Structure 1
Amino acid sequence: MIWIEPRNLKRRFVPTTSSLRADRAVPERMESRLRVGIGWVVVAALVAGAASASLALVAASRGWLPGVVTGGPAYAYTQVVERGEPAAAGEPVVKAVARAGPAVVNIHTLVTVTEGDPFGFFAPPRELEVPRGRGSGFIVNGARGYVVTNLHVVEGAERIRVSLPDRRAYFAKLIGFDSANDIALLQIPGNARLPQLAFADSDRVLVGQTAIAIGNPYGFENSVTTGVVSALGRELEREDDVPLVDVIQTSAPINPGNSGGPLVDLNGRVIGMTTAIDARGQGLGFAVASNTITRAIEEIVRLGYARQPYLGVELVEITPDLAQELGLPSADGVAIRAVAPGSPAEAAGLQPRDVITGVEDQPVVRAADLRRLLRRHRVNDRIVLRGFRDGRERTWTATLQAHPRLRQP
């Protein structure tokens, strides 16, 4: 960018009269000629300055220069006036938001309440539709009108209104949900030719990469915050004792109303769905991983709900003392406290005090690892478990069943 220095044309640089009068030997005529010469110099400087300023303005107006610095009243400030596309248009975050933003939606939920005397003695009761809550979501299939959001955003709603950034608005219906992972799939009826987002592979997400959250916190539509991926594979406890597993932690600020919105990478692809925050500190946001979402969508479209794989064991974390008691080479792995009757674990031959140290080729160090690896499989998958019994290495083959305790439509 060319920088044109502002100049104040009212300012004149001339010798002081005292410097001219200091030399008494200068004749009167010479002093007069000197003043005339200085006057011509000043006039020439003024003309040259005006011509330069005019040329700069003409060049900027015709697009010859990328920008020009202009001055405010009495040069109280300077401003760079850009020509053409804004310089920030090439920034990675700006590009990612431009790709993803059109498919991020605002979700309003509505319920019906009865107002007035329920017995009708004083006035007949009337039903009113009132707002229940709001959140975010994103379109994953524009042709079919599929919208993904959190289950807790739409749960209990009688009607669901979805609005796009271009001000189009529709009433959507709930197709199904995955209660274990707090995922709901909505559908906008008709052929609206909607924009859509693509998913990234969350197994390839790296700690430290840029994470961009887009949503509607406190009703501020299409707000953008940025941060990084802080950690992977987090587990969040819930009131129903079914933890939210394989969660992405992010430092991108997340607030009420962001729930259900996408967490995207610098390519504008979904790496997760913002779901929860830890209110004890700042920058502690959590998102359901994209691969968890895609597995849920497939099941919901096919069955109307998402099943969760179930092994049927109660687990105990292994301490150094317990590892010594069980004859283990290390404290890595999880011990089985109990096996559910009729479960896949019982059918596979697992017993209390057995130790699981791996699923297929993936290591299990803690109970959260086993839950995360099981959740990545599907119902009816056959898996090989590695571990120990009585200090000796063992393997077991189990066929996963649907979790019997998870709520279904």
Structure 2
Amino acid sequence: MILKKRIGTGFFLLLFSFCLLNYYTVTDVNAANLPDFRELAKKSGDAVVNISTEKTVKDQKRNMPPNMFRGMPNGDLFEEFFNSPFGPNGGSQGEEDGRRSRRSGSLGSGFIISSDGFIVTNNHVVEGADVINVNLSSDTNKNKSYKAKLVGADPETDLALIKIEVKDSLPFLKFGDSDKLEVGEWVIAIGNPFGLDHSVTAGIISAKGRDIQAGAFDSFLQTDASINPGNSGGPLLNMDGEVIGINTAIVAQGQGIGFAIPSNMANKIIDELKNHKKVSRGWIGVQIQPIDEKMAKALGLQNDQGALLGGVMPKEPADKAGLMAGDVVVGVDNKDITSADDLLQEIANKKPGNKVELKVIRNGETKNFVVTLAERNLDKDGAKVYEEGSTPDNQDDFNLGIQLRSLNKDDMRRLRITDIEGGLLITAVEPDKEADKAGIKPGDVILTAALKPVLNTNDFVKIINGVGKERGAVMLQMMRRGQKFFVTLDLSGKK
């Protein structure tokens, strides 16, 4: 009995020792596989800067009604105060428009890209600033502050280039190749979150090519390295110490979801800002939108690849080259175009004045057009991508859920329509019916159905009952607040 107990105890101790040894061995192996960020943070941190800005903003004017104190005790004194430079009607001294001026500031990050003081940051960090302060932290410039000047900015990608004047050479960072990044790679972010100087956070690349609806050229890197307010403009670094992204945006409701502008996009833009102080992009003067399966069916296409021209602006490059609303662009200079974003970015990457060849499908036929690019102008809003409405459910032909009538001269004058002969005005849309689910709204104007003009309701009904039934879908060209776009009504299964 005693011998059995000793054997049992010995076996238990042996098993315990084996498990303990195995635990520490596995732990040591796992620890050995984890990256060490100490040298990377030390080497790169000196080239990261803190940015603070100052600007003058005006409060909204708050005028009090005239003579509102008349008849009240000491009313004259109240009236005098409210109209004085310090009162709501008067604003601060020197403010002729009656609005108070106050100083406002913001915090952000940036990083040095050349030894002579060029610094990259986000446009939203320095936009509208009267004063841009840059604080360094390198050993030779510890806690030194410099006034920076704005070299150039690109609001569409939220990038800016600033410059400080220094006597000594500064440490700087180099751009890496963001196209070579793979999801799961380790990265670190260095910045100034919430004013906490030179904070370092680590994580991985969570995804690439994210579109977060921040602008026309969204293709962000997503990372779970902690990004917070104040990190904006700071670098996202790979394990070689190269900048592979510029930290720009976060999901306010989430944790571990940050976004950075890829270095390959940023590098080109920064070079252009450095050399020309602005970014010039090609433009053809169209409104484009994606194609889905219903739209492809309505157009008689074999698939949903390409970019649909929802509208062509009169007297602009595309119009001059002969392009029309309803054309589907499937190629630019022998490069395939599979989406609306492809077309937008391919044209924008080319210079104004360049000639490009567009491969287009029109009424089932392939055509080629040579277009001379103009310069992209945000005020014209010609390249905005219009999304189609929700997917409609099947309904019968006579239950589309819209009331319409022909446009008259008063409608055209009120809606400021000058470039079309006529159309159908949507006067009412029934909730949860086909038109409503396709995104059609009262006040919209139907210009064409199946790419054919509709000047009266008879034209519309004939197309619905003809081409619409034959293809199982009909595409309507609409106008809303001066912008043209397409929606598709699904007629499959209609009687």
TM interval, shorter chain, is 0.5 to 0.7
- Structure 1 residues 102 and 113, CA gap change in structure 2 (3 angstroms): same
Does residue 1:280 correspond to 2:253, yes or no? yes
2:236 maps to amino acid? L
Q: 1:366 to 1:283 in 2, by over 3 A?
A: farther
Q: 1:358: Cα distance to partner? A: 3.5
1:245 matched to 2:218? The reply is yes
Out of 168, 190, 194, the position equivalent to 1:192 is 168
Task: Choose from 343, 348, 360 the match for 1:370.
Answer: 343
Q: Could you tell me the TM-score, scaled by structure 1's length?
A: 0.68
Q: CA deviation at 1:399?
A: 3.5
Does residue 1:230 correspond to 2:206, yes or no? Answer: yes
Matched residue SS, 1:196? coil
Larger displacement relative to structure 2 (377-386 or 218-227): 377-386
Q: C-alpha deviations, 1:221-265, integer Å up to 9, x for none?
A: 111222222232333334xxx534232222222100000101121
Q: CA deviation at 1:355?
A: 0.9
3-state SS in 1 of match to 2:344: helix
Structure 2 length-normalised TM: 0.57
Q: Report the CA distance shift for 1:205/1:373 in structure 2 as closer, same or farther (over 3 A).
A: farther
Relative to structure 1, the CA distance from residue 350 to residue 125 in structure 2 (aligned partners, 3 Å threshold; closer, same or farther) is: closer
Deviations along 1:154-177, one digit per CA (max 9) or x if unpaired, are 112211111112322211111111
Which of residues 199, 221, 227 in structure 1 aligns to 2:197? 221
Match of 1:290 in 2: 263
Give the secondary structure class of the aligned counterpart of 1:203: helix
Q: Compute the displacement of 1:196 (Å).
A: 0.9
Give the Cα separation in 2 of the matches to 1:204 and 1:383.
29
Unaligned runs of 5+ in 1: 1-86
Deviation string, structure 1 residues 82-116 (Cα, Å, up to 9, x no partner): xxxxx99x9453343333221110001123689xx
Q: Which residue of 1 aligns with 2:290?
A: 317
Q: Within 5 Å, which residues of 2 pair with 1:202-221?
A: 202-221=178-197
Q: Tell me which amino acid in the other structure corresponds to 2:272.
A: E
Q: Residue 155 in 1 paired to residue 127 in 2?
A: yes
| AA matched with 1:395 | N
Q: For 1:348-387, list aligned pairs within 5 A.
A: 348-360=321-333, 362-387=335-360
Distance 2:343 2:277 in 1: 27
Equivalent residue for 2:362?
A: 389
* 1:261 partnered with 2:202: no
Q: CA offsets per residue over residues 126-180 of structure 1, 9 Å max, x none?
A: 9x9966011000111122x111111111112211111112322211111111111
Q: 2:57, 2:104 within 8 Å by CA — same for their partners in 1?
A: no
Match of 2:45 among 74, 97, 101: 101
8 Å contact from structure 1 (residues 213, 224) kept in 2:
yes
How far residue 308 of structure 1 moved from its aligned partner, in angstroms, is 2.8
Shift in Å, 1:119: 4.3
CA contact (8 A) 1:232 1:247 kept: yes
Displacement after TM superposition at 1:120 (Å): 8.6
Deviation of 1:360 after TM superposition, in Å, equals 4.1
Aligned letter for 2:234? G
Deviation at 1:362, TM superposition (A): 4.6
**Are 2:217 and 2:345, in contact at CA under 8 Å, matched by a contact in 1?**
no
CA shift for structure 1 position 198: 0.5
Higher normalized contact order (CA 8 Å, seq sep 6+, divided by chain length): 1
Residue of structure 2 equivalent to 1:177: 153
Q: 1:332, 1:203 → 2: CA distance?
A: 24
1:406, distance to aligned residue in structure 2 (A): 5.8
Shift in alpha-carbon separation, 1:158–1:339, aligned structure 2, 3 A: same
* Secondary structure in structure 2 of the residue aligned to 1:300: helix
Partner of 2:300: 327
Letter aligned with residue 165 of structure 2: P
- Does structure 2 conserve the Cα–Cα contact (< 8 Å) formed by 1:92 and 1:266? no
The 3-state SS of whatever aligns with 1:345 is helix
CA deviations over 1:358-378 (Å, ceiling 9, x no partner): 334554333233333334334
CA distance in 2 between counterparts of 1:272 and 1:119 reads 48
Return 5+ residue gaps in structure 2 as ranges.
1-30, 59-81, 95-100, 381-495
Q: Distance in 2 between matches of 1:374 and 1:393?
A: 20
8 Å Cα contact 2:50-2:192 kept in structure 1: yes
Alignment of 1:127-138 (within 5 A): 132-138=105-111
Whole-angstrom CA distance in 2 between matches of 1:113 and 1:379: 36
Identity percentage of aligned residues: 39
RMSD, aligned α-carbons: 3.1
* Mapped contact 1:176–1:185 kept (Cα < 8 A): yes
May I ask how many residue pairs the two structures share in their alignment?
312
Deviation at 1:277, TM superposition (A): 1.1
Q: Indicate conservation of the 8 Å contact 1:137/1:262, yes or no.
A: yes
Counterpart-to-counterpart distance in 2, 1:131 and 1:391: 57
Q: Once structures 1 and 2 are overlaid, which stretch shifts more, 395-404 or 311-320? A: 395-404
- TM-superposed CA distance for 1:382, in Å, is 3.7
Change (3 A) 1:232 1:309: farther
